[in-house]
Amino acid sequence: MSNYVNMKISLLFFVFFLWFSVTPITSFAAWTIETVDSAGDVGFFTSIAADSNNNVHISYYDGSNRNLKYATNASGSWVTETVDNGLYVGWFTSIATDSNNNVHISYLDVYHHGLKYAMNASGSWVTETVDNVLTELELSSEYTSIAIDRYNMAHISYYDLGRGLMYATNFLGSWFTQSVDSAGVYVGMGNSIALDSGFKGHISYFGNGDLKYATGYPPYGGVVIQTVDTAVYVLLYFSAMVNTSIATDSNNHVHISYYDATNDDLKYATNASGSWVTQTVDSTGGGYNSITIDSSNKVHISYFANGDLKYAKTGWPYGSWVTETVDSGVGEYTSIAVDSNNKVHISYYDAINGDLKYAAKNMDTTAPTTTASPAGGTYSSAQSVTLTCNDGSGSGCKTTYYCLGSGCYPTTIYNGSISISSSTVLRFSSFDNADNPESVKTETYTISTTANGPFIDKILGIKKPGLIVGIIGTNFSSTQGNSIVHIGPKTFNSSSPRIKLWSDIKVRIRLPNYQCGWFKGQDYRYIKVWVTVDGVDSNKKRIKILKPDTCP
């Protein structure tokens, strides 16, 4: 065991947590797991990022040599190198890439009490001290966190024992630092920073036993501070596993994962609804958590619980969570990232072997497709509609929901054919096993039965002695061409009323002596007669005749 691990055990009085006593669980089959670095006791304080080429970059602490290291698979295989060395250089690393795929790292130089910054834009690593910080490492939750803006400038949140939550940026050319929140005890522990598309900064952190949130445009504007959740840890009850992690989505909504040390829960908070809403994601633990958002605004969290590396994602219905074990018996210092293909990447520490490890999983991000049979349309009888879901080569269809009515939201689970006996709108949507939601689809069914059709949809005019010219309604279609439709008694004679259906759907109805007065001031009248189409008799039909516009 390295001197660093001995020191960690003596410093972190929270290490008597019982996570190592659980029975190991087999890793989820879809995850690919690799050992990135096994040269000594390595992999503390990992942080991971994916660049625009979907290459992976990891910063971490080498406990054997007490320095900051970096690993990348940009060449096709893992390559590691030392970024900064010294005595306890590289604690609480945080990594990010810019638009040029250059790498930026924030970290602590514990021995010299410095917040440091490294970047490789020149082709080699250049390091500098950003600020001198007062640390109290027996608390071991003095995180740094870095975010890169659209101009490739760095923004860092960090903790100082005397000044509380701190913020630093080189946006102005040289490093600017300021205290964000110092009101209370241990304010700024477990911090994490994110920038939204509007260049606004968002920081999650602990203070006075609560989860707190700060947002604003430092150094140009004021900062708004809010308490998101209360009593989530006991003061002086810190370890490195007690942290927060923050991310913003494409709508600039904020998402925070955090460890509730009071209840040993992984929790989640978001302001997507306009106010803060919190949830318990996993009640078996949630230390060393890390959060990220994919291109569909789905939330992904890696964390350490019951001695295992675990993973959680948002599921369906919205607000639910799907969790799984990624690697058993290990998983401290996790960090998560999602690349442009929505592939999930996780870096973590294997405390059993003293290795830096990496897990990855390709995610199904394509929604299924659902079709209705028969499709919407006009029918003369009730229809039995079947919904069929197809997910192609994806994870497979999970559940199909439907509802009846214009503007309704599908919440009824589809278990078999749907009977539609009257005109209505069918709305439906399916989810696959990766919880990808299909956009709601709509099919409109018009049912024209004996009770409500056929009818004359529009009367074009009336000619004495009662010849009505109009447009046929839903009982007939243009596919009947020039069919002759007789309306009247089964015994036809030259005086029987007659409809002739032309290909343009215009009809003539001869109703002797039925003129405007026949409507008796009403908008329509019904007649009920036998209908014969091309010599084939059907049942007696009730025909609705609309009053023409020319009638008073």
Residue range(s) defining the domain that contains residue 496: 455-546
Record the tokens describing residue 521, joined without a space. Answer: 């001031």
Q: In CATH, what number is assigned to the domain containing residue 431?
A: 2.60.40
**Strands 89-97 and 254-260, sheet pairing:** unpaired
Tell me the one-letter amino acid at 359.
Answer: A
**Strands 506-510 and 424-432, sheet pairing:** unpaired
Examine residue 212 and state whether it is found in any structural domain, yes or no.
yes
Residue that is last in its domain, among 394, 429, 447:
447
Examine residue 337 and state whether it is found in any structural domain, yes or no.
yes
Same domain, 241 and 373: no
Distance from the first to the final alpha carbon of the chain: 101
- Say which residues have a Cβ less than 8 Å from residue 64's Cβ, sequence separation at least 6: 2, 4, 39, 40, 41, 42, 354
Same domain, 490 and 389: no
Examine residue 552 and state whether it is found in any structural domain, yes or no.
no
CA 389 remoteness from chain centre: 21
* Three-point CA angle 375, 378, 382, nearest 5°: 80
Same domain, 529 and 438: no
Quickly tell me which residue has 């205290």 as its tokens: 179
Q: How many whole angstroms separate alpha carbon 206 and alpha carbon 188?
A: 6
Same domain, 242 and 105: yes
Do 314 and 298 form a contact (C-beta atoms < 8 A)? yes
Q: How many whole angstroms separate alpha carbon 351 and alpha carbon 19?
A: 12
pLDDT in tens, the chain (552 residues): 343 333 333 333 222 222 222 222 223 348 999 999 999 999 999 999 999 999 999 999 999 999 999 999 999 999 999 999 998 999 999 999 999 999 999 999 998 999 999 999 999 999 999 999 977 655 466 899 999 999 999 999 999 988 999 999 999 899 999 999 999 888 999 999 999 999 999 999 999 999 999 999 987 778 999 999 998 986 655 678 999 999 999 999 999 999 999 999 999 999 999 999 999 999 999 999 999 999 989 999 999 999 999 999 987 556 689 899 999 999 999 999 999 999 999 999 999 999 999 999 998 888 999 999 999 998 878 899 999 999 998 889 999 999 999 999 999 999 999 999 889 999 999 999 888 889 999 999 998 654 444 445 555 444 444 444 444 443 433 333 333 444 433 333 334 444 444 333 344 454 444 566 767 778 777 766 555 444 445 555 566 666 766 667
Reference 282, options 262, 265, 270; nearest CA is 265
Examine residue 551 and state whether it is found in any structural domain, yes or no.
no
Same domain, 391 and 487: no
Q: Would you call 478 helix, strand, or coil by DSSP?
A: helix
Record the tokens describing residue 207, joined without a space. Answer: 């203070």
Same domain, 442 and 464: no
Examine residue 182 and state whether it is found in any structural domain, yes or no.
yes
What percentage of the chain's residues is helix, strand, coil (to nearest 5)? 5, 50, 45
Do 170 and 153 form a contact (C-beta atoms < 8 A)? yes
Same domain, 175 and 157: yes
Q: How many whole angstroms separate alpha carbon 393 and alpha carbon 400?
A: 18
Same domain, 470 and 436: no
- Say which residues have a Cβ less than 8 Å from residue 76's Cβ, sequence separation at least 6: none
**Strands 484-488 and 506-510, sheet pairing:** unpaired
Residue that is last in its domain, among 447, 473, 502:
447
- Say which residues have a Cβ less than 8 Å from residue 552's Cβ, sequence separation at least 6: 516
Overall domain count for the chain: 3
What pLDDT shows up at residue 156? 98
Same domain, 268 and 404: no
Examine residue 472 and state whether it is found in any structural domain, yes or no.
yes
Same domain, 322 and 413: no
- Say which residues have a Cβ less than 8 Å from residue 427's Cβ, sequence separation at least 6: 402, 403, 404, 405, 408, 409, 410, 440, 441, 442
Q: How many whole angstroms separate alpha carbon 16 and alpha carbon 14?
A: 6
Q: In CATH, what number is assigned to the domain containing residue 249?
A: 2.120.10.70
Examine residue 131 and state whether it is found in any structural domain, yes or no.
yes
Same domain, 48 and 136: yes
Residue that is last in its domain, among 338, 361, 384:
361
Examine residue 278 and state whether it is found in any structural domain, yes or no.
yes
Same domain, 348 and 423: no
Q: Within a 10 A sphere around the Cβ of 482, how many other Cβ atoms?
A: 9
